């Protein structure tokens, strides 16, 4: 197939996946275990040579929401600021399963600074609440990664698991963890043509949430879609257009502390931004630096704001 036609088809698929939304709006706190826009990486579905890879992500976010359920209470005018750092170790092997290469990953999130404030509804009136926290967040485990490749096409299935390791107290406005398990199967596709320098990467996932026993609240299940359209000007430098779309597919379920039922509280949001990749050699190693900025262009019952993400990754050892 003509490379330009391949590129046009891949771009069309990405745009259609973003526009043609599944028929179904946020979870507890007006946010999610899934952080919007963090899955739209350069070469999202590509496996490198076998070995152990390390990646560090710094993530800064500021957003707000008019109304959100937090800790069994309803809060108004919630404002949140957070600085996160992820340490990710990714093992990619030549072991074959179902014709695919096998891999696994472990991600440790560290909250460098987290702050939230809002007005809790009382009877009568409301009161302002706020708090800051730092520490370890919810671990993200990926025990299964399966990667297939056909020429310029790459496909990776991964099963992610969020473990509730972050500190939680239902009386806080901001917590390090969300106090429930999440199961996040993802399917990533990348088409990259080295001759033309074009790339399209798409990741779709469906997040299954369990109940937060401390707040007696179960966040609904969530669909998330991240994609990136990019051009590689050289092996060292690339520029991309990242975007995401998130939609809660089932309503929340829970009784508030005052005995009332919040009803089917659902969230939806979408964002778009800019990404830059720089990949020099340092001490003989290929090191990737990625700078990404995303801004929410739409949010319904979900935090709305902007994020900045700076990443560095390299291969620690292997073939």
pLDDT digits (tens, 9 = 90+) for 131-184: 999 999 999 999 999 999 999 999 999 999 999 999 999 888 899 999 999 999
**pLDDT tens digits for range 54-63:** 999 999 999 9
Q: Domain residues for 116?
A: 3-242+264-318
The pLDDT score that the predictor gives to residue 262 is 60
**pLDDT tens digits for range 243-258:** 999 999 887 776 666 6
**Sign of the alpha-carbon torsion through 231, 236, 242, 246:** positive
249 in any annotated domain = no
Tokens of 143: 């025990």
42 in any annotated domain = yes
d(CA 159, CA 105): 10
| Number of alpha carbons in the 13 Å side-chain half-sphere of residue 258 | 12
State the CATH number of the domain containing residue 111.
2.40.160
- Predicted TM-score (pTM) of the model is 0.86
d(CA 247, CA 299): 10
137 in any annotated domain = yes
165 in any annotated domain = yes
81 in any annotated domain = yes
Report the DSSP beta bridge partners of residue 238.
Answer: 232, 277
When divided into structural domains, the chain yields a total of 1
Distance of CA 223 to the CA centre of its chain: 11
4 pLDDT higher than 70: no
97 in any annotated domain = yes
The pLDDT score that the predictor gives to residue 25 is 35
**pLDDT tens digits for range 206-239:** 999 999 888 888 888 999 999 999 999 999 999 9
d(CA 214, CA 216): 6
Contact between 218 and 210 (Cβ < 8 Å): yes
Instruction: Please state, in angstroms and as integers, the Cα–Cα distance from residue 95 to each residue in 50, 143, 145, 319, following that order.
Output: 9, 14, 11, 13
- Regarding predicted confidence, which is higher, 266 or 290? 290
272 in any annotated domain = yes
Instruction: Using CA atoms of 161, 166, 171, 174 in order, give the dihedral in degrees to the nearest 10.
Output: -90
250 in any annotated domain = no
d(CA 18, CA 202): 10
């Amino acid at each position: 197939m003509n490379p330009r036609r391949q590129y046009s088809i891949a771009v069309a698929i990405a745009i259609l996946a973003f526009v043609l939304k599944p028929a179904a709006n946020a979870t507890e706190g007006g946010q999610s275990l899934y952080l919007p826009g963090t899955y739209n990486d350069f070469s999202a579905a590509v496996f490198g040579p076998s070995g152990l890879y390390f990646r560090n992500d710094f993530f800064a976010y500021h957003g707000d929401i008019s109304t959100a359920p937090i800790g069994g209470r309803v809060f108004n005018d919630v404002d949140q600021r957070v600085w996160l750092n992820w340490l990710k170790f990714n093992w990619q092997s030549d072991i074959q399963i179902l014709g695919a290469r096998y891999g696994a990953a472990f991600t440790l999130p560290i909250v460098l600074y987290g702050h939230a404030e809002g007005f809790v509804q009382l009877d009568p009136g409301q009161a302002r609440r706020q708090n800051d926290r730092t520490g370890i967040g919810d671990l993200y485990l990926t025990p299964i990664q399966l990667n297939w490749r056909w020429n310029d096409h790459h496909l990776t299935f991964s099963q992610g698991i969020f473990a509730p390791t972050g500190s939680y107290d239902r009386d806080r406005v901001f917590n390090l963890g969300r106090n429930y398990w999440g199961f996040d199967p993802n399917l990533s596709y990348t088409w990259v043509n080295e001759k033309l320098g074009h790339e399209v990467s798409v990741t779709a996932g469906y997040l299954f949430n369990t109940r937060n026993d401390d707040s007696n609240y179960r966040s609904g299940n969530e669909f998330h879609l991240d994609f990136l359209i990019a051009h590689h000007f050289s092996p060292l430098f690339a520029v991309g257009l990242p975007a995401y779309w998130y939609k809660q597919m089932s309503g929340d379920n829970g009784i508030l502390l005052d005995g009332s039922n919040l009803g089917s509280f659902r969230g939806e949001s979408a964002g778009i931004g800019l990404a830059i990749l720089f990949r020099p050699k340092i001490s003989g190693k290929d090191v990737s630096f990625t700078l990404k900025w995303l801004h929410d262009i739409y949010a319904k019952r979900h935090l709305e704001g902007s994020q900045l993400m700076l990443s560095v990754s390299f291969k620690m050892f292997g073939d």
